[in-house]
Chain A
């Protein structure tokens, strides 16, 4: 039987672009014909759900019943991948909970594939976050995300210090989310549609929209660069989708 795949997107600081990364990931998986479900932990009003309402549920990651809703259904869910957008400040706590319920042990025993996207902020505090998070990452794919979408400058970081943290983590990857033009970013927010729908000039209900060609062009170019980063780290191989696809074929 194919292994379930869980992708966690989080940070200990707010406003660093967790939901942006989650949205880009969902679009990426859809573009690869991979069925995906998502959980938005921004209770009670989720941001991710606004953009991907059909595949997203809002959950409280601290409640046991919602944890059951996510993790007890991993094997039975139709979706090949589960993406969880973790609320700001909850990454370390969530990882601790996952360890407590034996999820990390299951990942260690290769019963499931576990990938964490840790979105970094520009402050020096993010380096401490890496240290705290790394303790849980021995058996997961750990991906550090430098998000420049809001023209963030990681000026506080000394490269040598950053590398000393980065190199401590086994099999860690680093990706960069490039800057997106402010107006394009704002228009996608207002449109409340996935990036791919905005590029294709489609509203949430699938009807033709009237988005600016120029802004769609900027988003298309930006999304292409983000996906190139996912391709560079071989994300599809990391989440073991190839194996899952072949298993599904064999089963059918």
Chain B
């Protein structure tokens, strides 16, 4: 868990530097790094809970953890959607003033290029990229916040002799 709290902020932090012209390999490698950083710690809260709780309470305690996990995904996707929408409006009108935001929002991802037209596509995409990056600060914050969980988990050996 501590390893995740150290590695994940680094990985998510670097991911916020992506821009329009980065190579695919760089972005894919960064995603792999995030996967490893989180994967190192992702099972450990469950192991910790199983070690600490008595057999009678384990299933409810694990239920609490799974509840936390579900809330984590759904809550922060909702938060990030709000964040992204407002940043998108702000950034695109900053870099490509006069863009029709309602048309852009309704165009969907794959039709941006058709809706915008080639003359100021680059500017709109630049704003789009900025909005994505600013939304990616949210995972960075979450990565930093994992340290609270890591720090407060009781340290107990899983060694055989304990049982």
Is chain B found bound to chain A in the same assembly?
Answer: no
What is B's interface to A at a CB cutoff of 8 Å? none
What is A's interface to B at a CB cutoff of 8 Å? none
